[in-house]
Chain A
Amino acid sequence: MIWFGAGVLLLIAVAGAAVVCTRDVTNQVLALGFYGLLLALMFFIFQAPDVALSQITVGAVALPLMVMLAIARMKFRDRSRSAGDSRND
């Protein structure tokens, strides 16, 4: 069990570095979701089911959802601003 836990911890370290090194924000959202699921797996191994449930719902679903909504809103703003500019020309 402890070797399994050690393996998942190393995976989390690699996944955390991967999330940081993903510079494109849309790809980073997917990496964040995967990282959240890995964290939830680690919480299960550490005998913390309550926290794992919380992490799955919040860190792997709600958090990527909110980041995606922010990106979508900014893209919508960009698109309508450029459409407005081209109409005013």
Chain B
Amino acid sequence: MTDRARHILFFFPAAVLFLLYAYAAHNLPSWGSYRGPYGDAIARVAVYERHATDIVNVINYDYRAFDTLGEEFILFTAVLGVAMLLRHEGDALTRPAAKLSDEAGLSAAVRSVNLPALLVTTVFGLYIGLHGQLTPGGGFQAGVILATGGVLIYVCENTAAFRRITSHAAVEITEALGAASYAIIGIIPLLMGLPFLCNFIPLGTTGDVFSSGTIALISACVGVEVTAAFLLVVFIYLQEIIAGALPEDN
């Protein structure tokens, strides 16, 4: 099908779809006038029931923890898929690391900011991960921030250190352990006679870092898993370039 025919074939259904969508939008509540009961009900009781102040994280890791468990396993499975598709078997990892020869070397500005930036990123990621139940943050955001700290090591030309960190089997084991411990935290209340993923740890005082029971614990597990998952994905994409691999001769 030619390009032009494709454009025309797309235009008319798109216009019809847009008009239908606009007509359906008339029945939605107008922008700014949220009426629904659930948001207000949860906002009223969550602080007293769970001793945590960040309602979004309370919903994610307590009221709707089962959804988040499923979503964490989506992440795990997707990384598994990437590894299955792109993993190199054999000796690709044992060759010496090739220095990425770029036309322009690293400027002195980037080189001098490398270590302080890494320190700030790691501390900030840990802070965001530990305070998820009090202020905006939580496991997912902290995991990605810590993973970008790992990528910083690679960006600043320390390819050998990056490879040593991320090709270690510990990264895969950590990822699997993070995902499994979320499920284990859910199963333990079953053994005590409570519902699956029930908040069974004593709740503590509102505003403390160690409050809100299993919410902080689950958030930490998710953070560990997301860090390992992203580091693994970045390493798998860069594996060939780092090992200086040549294409197979088949």
Contacts and interface: CB of A to CB of B under 8 A. Distances in A.
Interface residues of B, number: 27
A30 interface: no
B160 interface: no
B57 interface: yes
Contacts of A51: 56
A62 B238 contact: no
Given A57-B148, A58-B144, A84-B247, A66 B136 contact: no
B240 A62 contact: no
A55 to B, nearest CB: 10
Contact of A53 (B31, B141, B246, B249): B141
Chain A contact-residue range equals 20 to 34
> From DSSP, what is the main secondary structure of chain B's interface residues?
helix
Contacts of A25: none
A85 to B, nearest CB: 10
Contact of A62 (B137, B148, B241, B246): B148
B136 A73 contact: no
Contact of A54 (B141, B147, B234): B141
A80 B69 CA distance: 42
A83 B145 CA distance: 37
B247 A81 contact: yes
A18 interface: no
A10 interface: no
A28 B97 CA distance: 30
B246 A73 contact: no
A23 to B, nearest CB: 12
B141 A73 contact: no
A57 to B, nearest CB: 4
B148 A61 contact: yes
Interface in A7-45: none
Nearest to B144: A57
A14 B94 CA distance: 48
A62 B141 contact: no
B162 interface: no
B32 interface: yes
Contact of B237 (A61, A66, A81): A66
Contacts of A66: 233-234, 237
Contacts of B137: 50, 53
Contacts of A80: 245-247
Contacts of B182: none
A50 B61 CA distance: 14
Interface of A: 2, 48-54, 57-58, 61-62, 65-66, 69-70, 72-73, 76-77, 80-81, 84
Q: Which 5 A-B pairs have the closest CB atoms?
A: A69-B237, A49-B136, A57-B144, A50-B136, A50-B56
7 contacts: A57-B144, A61-B144, A61-B148, A66-B237, A69-B238, A70-B237, A80-B245
